[in-house]
Amino acid sequence: MPAVDGADELLRWFEREGPDLPWRRTRDRYAVLVSEVMLQATQVARVVPFYERWMARWPTAGLLARAPLGDVLAAWHGLGYPRRARNLHLAARAIATTGWPDRLQELPGVGPYTAAAIRAFADGEPVVPVDVNVARVTARRWPDGLPDVGAPCAWAFGQGLMDLGRTVCTARAPRCASGCPVRPGCPAADAGAVAEATPPGRRQSRYEGSMRQRRGRLLGAIAASGRVEIAVDPTAAESLIADGLARRARAYLLPVR
């Protein structure tokens, strides 16, 4: 392992402490895409059972592409942000029809981060996908830029950065003095300026009583019983119809086909 400004310590820490997550056992592009879409704004522990059920049911893009969108949305229910499921379904259809594009961001729902994650965690390219955890660790420990660990270590380095930001170098209670493998030489910790070096976070809107919650309740009712009366929440129902996440049949919302 390279001895480059804390990189070797992080790699050794990840080798010891990195959890055995199911998407870390594969380098399949589709599996990595599924995991990365599910992990957007969702905690790892919550994603694991959804990912395992999903991959058991639809282990390839072709199988997902042939599934009715209503079934896909029902399987997604509980993860939140159902547009992610719709975009994943659209991406699977595109892959099944024409293959993976050279420019991954041409796939529905795939932005710069997800494209980088596929390149790093499936293709083995020496790139580091920068999510909010990686951005925070970088700003504190490597403000002048991440060390170049080279292709052989890039996968483990990227995964280790994410784990470090998620469990040790957290936003509100960083464990600088207990358990941080890259604490020696950390400019933010050395200067006593960890908070000042932390990038501002995006404040999440209140969920209780929100349109997100109301839409989720209707989708949950559709998943449970196959339909729900539009009159239960007409505004949320119309929002789901407009987004193509449910369809109207007289006075009812039904799954999309």
Contact assessment for residue 143 and residue 194, using Cβ atoms and an 8 Å cutoff: no
pTM: 0.90
Confidence (pLDDT) at 204: 67
Positions of E strands within the chain: 228-229, 247-249, 252-254
CB atoms within 10 A of CB 155: 19
Confidence (pLDDT) at 231: 96
Confidence (pLDDT) at 17: 95
Confidence (pLDDT) at 15: 97
3-state secondary structure of 254: strand
Count, residues in the chain: 257
Confidence (pLDDT) at 2: 37
Structural tokens at position 197 = 């070096």
pLDDT digits (tens, 9 = 90+) for 119-155: 999 999 999 999 999 999 999 999 999 999 988 999 9
Q: Which residues are paired to 252 by β-bridges?
A: 229, 249
Q: How far apart, in whole angstroms, are the C-alpha atoms of residue 17 and residue 160? A: 9
Confidence (pLDDT) at 4: 46
Closest CA to 84 of 140, 148, 39: 39
Q: Are strands 228-229 and 252-254 parallel, antiparallel or unpaired?
A: antiparallel
Confidence (pLDDT) at 207: 80
3-state secondary structure of 252: strand
Confidence (pLDDT) at 1: 36
Closest CA to 80 of 207, 256, 170: 207
Q: Are strands 247-249 and 228-229 parallel, antiparallel or unpaired?
A: unpaired
Domains, the chain: 7-197 (1.10.340.30), 211-254 (no CATH)
Confidence (pLDDT) at 209: 86
Give catalytic residue positions: 36
Residues of the chain where predicted confidence (pLDDT) is lower than 50 = 1-4
Confidence (pLDDT) at 108: 97
Contacts with 167 (C-beta within 8 Å, 6 or more apart), sequence order: none
